[in-house]
Amino acid sequence: MKKISVLGSTGSIGTNTLDVVRKNPAEFEVIGLSAYRNVKLFARQIKAFRPRIISVKDESIVRQLEQLVNLSGIKVCTGEEGLIRVATHPAVQTVVVATSGVISLRPTILAVEKGKNIALANKEPLVMAGQILMERVRKNKVRIIPVDSEHSAVFQCLQKEKTKNLKRIYLTASGGPFHNFSKEKLKNVTPDMALRHPKWKMGRKISVDSATLMNKGLEIIEARWLFDVAPDKIEVLIHPEAIIHSMVEFLDGSILAQLGIADMRLPIQYALYYPQRKDYSFGLVDFFKIQKLTFKKPDLNRFPCLKIAKKAASGADTNACVMNAANEVAVTAFLDSNLGFTKIAGVIANVLKKHKPVRNPGIDEIFTVDAWARKEAGLLCSQQ
Ligand SMILES: NC(=O)c1ccc[n+]([C@@H]2O[C@H](COP(=O)([O-])OP(=O)(O)OC[C@H]3O[C@@H](n4cnc5c(N)ncnc54)[C@H](OP(=O)(O)O)[C@@H]3O)[C@@H](O)[C@H]2O)c1
């Protein structure tokens, strides 16, 4: 029986993870769960899984939770410290990191130091501190198994291959809801429009990132650290059918791809069972129905966030951290209808312009830079 904790169990990845667990209840014990403020759903999850330890945003959420579910026998924690406790509980073997944003960085590093394997959906820890996180992973001889569908695809393609034989990674992108929009039309994009992704049902922040193509930029940085590959060997390919989840090209020109339906339970299940492959499928690809798979180059002129991310990906410095923080602030402002869709890239570019990158930063420097970038981006958003 695999003993797991899920950080962010009330989110899109978190609920899909618990769906995988429900399909095979005898094979898992849910030791810990964390949510932020979705009390109703969290209460249902606690009733269903009776974890040993939970964490939520703060004491006021704990009080609301107590009205809905009996918490006796469960260790109840709050805030970042709570996430750390859920992630590092002595009984846990694998931590599914499915929170959004940067809050999981410290809990993930500490879980690695306690010898836990990580099933990683949350890309921000690798974007902010990929070098540090991967060093700790190697030192503590644990594994990060990617849950992001593209990285799961690359991970699967590399199973029997040596990274030194790798020529290029093709990260595929559905292109988001606006890949055919003109520059003019993009100016009128609203939060509601951006949240309607054509292929994937995801949380709010990643849905906007998919629409701006920043998500693909974050994925380049994620892939760079996960697979120890130079960023210029990572190519983005728009593939609207979202059947090929990514590909790797080897020195001899051979290409391996991983294909499947667009359902996050597939990479989640793969990560939870790795190195075994489970015989349960959530749906099959019907090639006769699809008939053709198409590809095109991303348009960096209409989607400048990807251009910014490619540049920030090129160094081992704090630029990626600044970009990530500024993007998070700008996306929040857009979702609150305080910033236009096409202004997101401008905010990020201007914060980066002001930043003097620090090479090979330590963890404290990363948090300092992250806080600075958030403040700068907040100021810029308020001036729009
Ligand atoms: N969704 C996908 O298909 C997908 C695919 C690939 C990668 N990812 C990555 O996976 C991560 C999660 O994505 P998602 O779509 O599942 O996000 P989501 O639906 O927004 O869920 C986020 C989860 O994190 C919790 N949370 C939010 N802020 C928190 C904070 N400050 N402290 C503690 N917990 C907090 C939320 O709690 P409450 O709901 O209780 O407030 C929720 O459980 C992201 O980094 C995303 O880029 C997602």
Could you report the average pLDDT of every consecutive run of 10 residues in the chain (384 residues)?
97 97 95 98 98 98 98 98 98 97 94 98 94 97 97 96 93 93 96 88 92 97 96 96 97 97 96 92 92 96 97 92 97 97 98 96 95 98 91
Q: Which domains does the chain have, with CATH numbers?
A: 2-146 (3.40.50.720), 151-314 (no CATH), 316-384 (1.10.1740.10)
Whole-angstrom CA distances from 240 to 71, 185, 193, 245, 296 are: 45, 19, 17, 11, 9
Distance between Cα 39 and ligand 1 center (Å): 15
Sheet with 234-238, strands from edge to edge, namely 234-238, 166-173, 244-250, 255-259
- Residue identifier of the C-alpha nearest atom 34 of ligand 1: 36
| 15 CA closest ligand 1 atom index | 16
- Distance (Å, whole) CA 165 – CA 250: 6
Q: Please tell me whether residue 281 adopts helix, strand or coil conformation.
A: coil
Whole-angstrom CA distances from 76 to 16, 83, 339, 359 are: 23, 11, 38, 39
Q: How far is CA 206 from the centre of its chain?
A: 8
Distance between Cα 166 and ligand 1 center (Å): 32
Distance between Cα 102 and ligand 1 center (Å): 10
Q: Which helix (H) or strand (E) holds 181?
A: none
For a ligand 1 pocket test, name from 10, 60, 100, 266 the mutation site with the most ligand atoms within 8 angstroms of its C-beta: 100
- Write the burial class of residue 270 (CB in 10 Å: 0-12 exposed, 13-18 middle, 19+ buried): buried
For a ligand 1 pocket test, name from 20, 34, 36, 171 the mutation site with the most ligand atoms within 8 angstroms of its C-beta: 36
| 121 CA closest ligand 1 atom index | 10
Distance between Cα 305 and ligand 1 center (Å): 21
Burial 10-32 (b: 16+ CB within 10 A, else e): bbbbbbbbbebbeeeeeebbbbb
- Write the burial class of residue 360 (CB in 10 Å: 0-12 exposed, 13-18 middle, 19+ buried): exposed
Residues within 6 Å of ligand 1 by CB: 8-14, 35-38, 83, 98-101, 103, 121-124, 148, 200, 202-204, 206, 264
Identity of the residue numbered 134: M
Backbone angles phi and psi of 99, in degrees to 5: -75, 165
- Residue identifier of the C-alpha nearest atom 21 of ligand 1: 11
For residue 158 the two structure tokens come to 């590399």
- Distance (Å, whole) CA 16 – CA 343: 33
For residue 120 the two structure tokens come to 């990683």
Got the DSSP string for 298-338? --TTT-HHHHHHHHHHTSSBTHHHHHHHHHHHHHHHHHTTS
What is the number of other CB atoms lying within 10 angstroms of the CB of residue 300? 14
Q: Are 157 and 49 in contact (CB under 8 A)?
A: no
Distance between Cα 98 and ligand 1 center (Å): 5
Q: Please tell me whether residue 262 adopts helix, strand or coil conformation.
A: coil
- Residue identifier of the C-alpha nearest atom 42 of ligand 1: 11
| The pLDDT of residue 104 | 95
For a ligand 1 pocket test, name from 12, 103, 123 the mutation site with the most ligand atoms within 8 angstroms of its C-beta: 12
What is the number of other CB atoms lying within 10 angstroms of the CB of residue 116? 23
- Distance (Å, whole) CA 193 – CA 275: 39
Q: Are 39 and 10 in contact (CB under 8 A)?
A: no
| 201 CA closest ligand 1 atom index | 3
For residue 143 the two structure tokens come to 């594994």
